[in-house]
């Protein structure tokens, strides 16, 4: 009754050279999807080989700064030029700016620059790409007929990678990052309401803490923060493999009735229940 795979679907994925994006790319290719992957960083030769051998789909890797003027137009136009259509978008690119010094000691200009960077990278880049992609997807998806069960068999899909910082207060060093991610969550919710009439769904994931190289280097410098994360994360490991988010992303790309949702994938970190009396003595 419902579309259950990505075979012959065409998508845009930003930030696919490593981490979450690389794992998403590998799985989408394994399911027969075709991807235009836009990243500011180059993918390694080993990574290219792994993607190429993943399955029957394909992925082309293209250099793109998602905050550059006209980036959304460039990404959508290039994808359609190569593959002739567009079915989904995964807005995954971005990096966190941390303030590892007292905020009251920082010049206002430094805080402003960081805020502008993070907002350009997350809610602004996400909104502009999603809206430009929706213009390309709407003619194909808005008039699809309903089946005997009263649902459509297919839909356009847009998924954003957010963070646990978008759903709960996190830490002082992530002032700019958390604010931008929360704004991106609001963008997602607004777009879901706006694009539903075109049969385009908009959702997000909010991953917890990953065991990739960058976070590992940071948390090794701050064992007190690492210890707190270990304590508050009820499922183990506390620092997830980036591939752990992929099943949820695939679900959001292939389901045809979920929209406006942010699914937290954090092993229970955002569940603030503190366990005192059930601990082993």
| Buried/exposed code over 226-255 (b: 16+ C-beta within 10 A; e: otherwise) | beebeebbeeeebbbebebbbebbbebbbb
Q: Which ranges of the chain have pLDDT less than 50? A: 1-4
**Where exactly are the structural domains of the chain?**
10-210+240-265
First CA to last CA distance, the chain: 52
What CATH superfamily classification does 10-210+240-265 receive?
NAD(P)-binding Rossmann-like Domain (3.40.50.720)
Report the pLDDT value the prediction gives residue 1, as an integer from 0 to 100. Answer: 35
CA distance 185 to 183: 5
Report the pLDDT value the prediction gives residue 162, as an integer from 0 to 100. Answer: 98
Global pTM reads: 0.95
Report the pLDDT value the prediction gives residue 213, as an integer from 0 to 100. Answer: 87
Report the pLDDT value the prediction gives residue 275, as an integer from 0 to 100. Answer: 82
Place of tokens 């992303």: 249
Q: At what angle do helices 223-232 and 213-221 cross, to 10 degrees?
A: 110
pLDDT single digits (tens) 162-207: 999 999 999 999 999 999 999 999 999 999 999 999 999 999 999 9
């Amino acid at each position: 009754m419902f579309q259950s795979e990505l075979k012959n679907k065409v998508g845009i994925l930003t930030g696919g050279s490593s981490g979450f994006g690389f794992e998403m790319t590998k799985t989408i290719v394994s399911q027969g999807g075709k991807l235009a992957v836009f990243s500011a960083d180059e993918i390694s030769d080993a990574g290219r080989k792994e993607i190429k051998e993943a399955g029957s789909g394909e992925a082309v890797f293209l250099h793109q700064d998602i905050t550059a003027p006209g980036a959304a137009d460039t990404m959508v136009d290039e994808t359609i030029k190569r593959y002739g259509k567009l079915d989904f978008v995964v807005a995954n690119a971005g990096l966190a700016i941390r303030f590892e010094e007292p905020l009251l000691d920082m010049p206002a200009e430094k805080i402003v620059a960081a805020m502008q960077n993070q907002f350009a990278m997350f809610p602004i880049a996400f909104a502009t790409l999603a809206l430009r992609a929706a213009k390309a997807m709407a003619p194909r998806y808005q008039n699809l007929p309903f089946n005997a069960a009263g649902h459509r068999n297919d839909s356009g899909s847009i998924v954003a990678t957010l963070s646990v910082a978008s759903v709960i207060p996190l830490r002082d060093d992530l002032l700019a990052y958390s604010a931008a991610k929360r704004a991106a969550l609001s963008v997602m919710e607004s777009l879901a309401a706006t694009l539903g009439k075109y049969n385009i769904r908009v959702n997000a994931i909010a991953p917890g803490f990953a065991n990739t190289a960058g976070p590992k280097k940071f948390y090794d410098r701050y064992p007190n923060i690492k210890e707190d994360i270990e304590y508050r994360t009820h499922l183990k490991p506390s620092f997830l493999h980036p591939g752990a988010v992929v099943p949820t992303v695939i679900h959001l790309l292939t389901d045809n009735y979920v929209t406006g949702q942010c699914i937290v994938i954090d092993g229970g970190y955002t569940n603030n229940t503190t366990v005192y009396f059930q601990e082993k003595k």
